[in-house]
Amino acid sequence: MKSYVIFNSNSKPFLKILSLSSLYLQVFLFLLIQVHFSFSSPPKTLIFPLKTQILRSPNKLQFYHNVSLIVSLTVGTPPQNVSMVLDTGSELSWLHCNQTTQNNQPDPKKFNPIQSSSYKTIPCSSPTCINRTQDFPIPASCDSDNLCHATLSYADASSSEGNLASDIFHLGSFDNISGLVFGCMDSIFSSNSAEDSKTTGLMGMNRGSLSFVSQMGFPKFSYCISGSDFLGLLLLGDSNVTWLTPLNYTPLIQISEPLPYFDRVAYTVQLEGIKVSGKLLPIPKSVLVPDHTGAGQTMVDSGTQFTFLLGPVYNVLRAEFLNQTGGVLRVLGDPNFVFQGAMDLCYRVPLGQNNLPNLPSVSLVFTGAEMVVSGDRVLYQVPGEVRGNDSVWCFSFGNSDLLGVEAYVIGHHHQQNVWMEFDLEKSRIGLAQMRCDLARQRFGVGN
């Protein structure tokens, strides 16, 4: 999950929901650069193919981080292999560091800074620590060695902490990126260490000054996820192709004033309304804009699986969808079953039924653009959940109030077969319906 405003016991906001926990569906992103670097910096275009792997864990249905995008690359001198979760809802990239040389046997899933001659620590008195960490959810601090110290906390009680550092990042065999700042985390607490051990760290991709995409200087990046085979591609830089479907753009919302519950470096857009089968729902405009505290922003987040709406809006959508499916679907009727703690509208579908009936579409209307969720994507089959001879399918929109999230979050389940462009230079997001499997072929990205 990604950058949402949530609350701890002290009512302080964390700007992120990301679990380092159980993964039902992992997306493995292998670094296969298709376009060569130019001699200038940053590179013009990099293309990464997306691969998916389904991990079934029916007894641990957690909201947090059902899908991970994994980038494989090397870091340090000599290079060490690392795999990082690509996260558009985080700023600081970090690696799980192992600073011991016990038995001279390096952990393949950890980065060992002692073995890298190009590794450099960052003192807490440096401009990087003082001026470029201001948007961190928890302020950076000084440790006992006067090094810049970062602590990250997540909604499922996972956390990581360590020191800011810099090193050389090797992107394939084409170029080296020197001095890229990241967190070298030597203390990680996770609710599912077995799953988290499969990756070395996290690659932050939001609009913060220390995010990977900001440090690399890319003016934009895009991704497209297929709705059929869940394969896709990630493109860093300008797509620069003539066949790409014209995009509809919606501006990113900018609030320069610091507000307690507004994430200034998230990809925030303005939600104007919601339609069900073309019917515009009676939702007051006032509940769709951030209030004086910043609560109520709408964030586009590739790291969250589903879409979550504030309670008053969710209840209107839920009632209309329930009304339009009254003669088509059979409601589960179990008030104690709430999928992932926020999705309380579920249905029973016979196990032998291969196709769902025609379902109402749900359209998210933004300023200048619209995202249409149709077909099977409006529902989600709960893995391993069977009631008699029926499988359980839930409405793929949830109530963010039940999660303590003071925001609207647009998840990647509803971005399937949509070309998503994040234009940092012009502060906007572009989107267009597209067969992402065909886009992958046109870019020459294999499986």
Q: Which residues are catalytic?
A: 87, 301
Tokens of 243: 């066949």
Alpha carbon separation from 142 to 150, 159, 162 (Å, rounded): 9, 18, 11
Q: Which residues pair with 180 in a beta bridge?
A: 167
Alpha carbon separation from 194 to 29, 189, 199 (Å, rounded): 20, 12, 10
| CA triple 122-128-132, angle to 5 deg | 140
Residues 6+ apart with CB under 8 A from 58: 383, 384, 385
- Which residues in 323-340 are b (16+ Cβ under 10 Å) and which e? ebbeeebeebeeeeebbb
147: DSSP letter: B
Tokens of 392: 């359980």
Taking the C-alpha atoms of residue 324 and residue 319, their distance in angstroms, rounded to an integer, is: 9
Q: Cβ distance 204 to 217 under 8 Å?
A: no
Distance of alpha carbon 40 from its chain centroid, rounded?
A: 29
Q: Cβ distance 370 to 251 under 8 Å?
A: no
Is the omega angle on the peptide bond into residue 357 within 30 degrees of 0, that is, cis? no
Provide the Cα torsion 295, 300, 302, 307; round to 10°. Answer: 70
Q: Which residues pair with 250 in a beta bridge?
A: 429
Taking the C-alpha atoms of residue 218 and residue 236, their distance in angstroms, rounded to an integer, is: 7
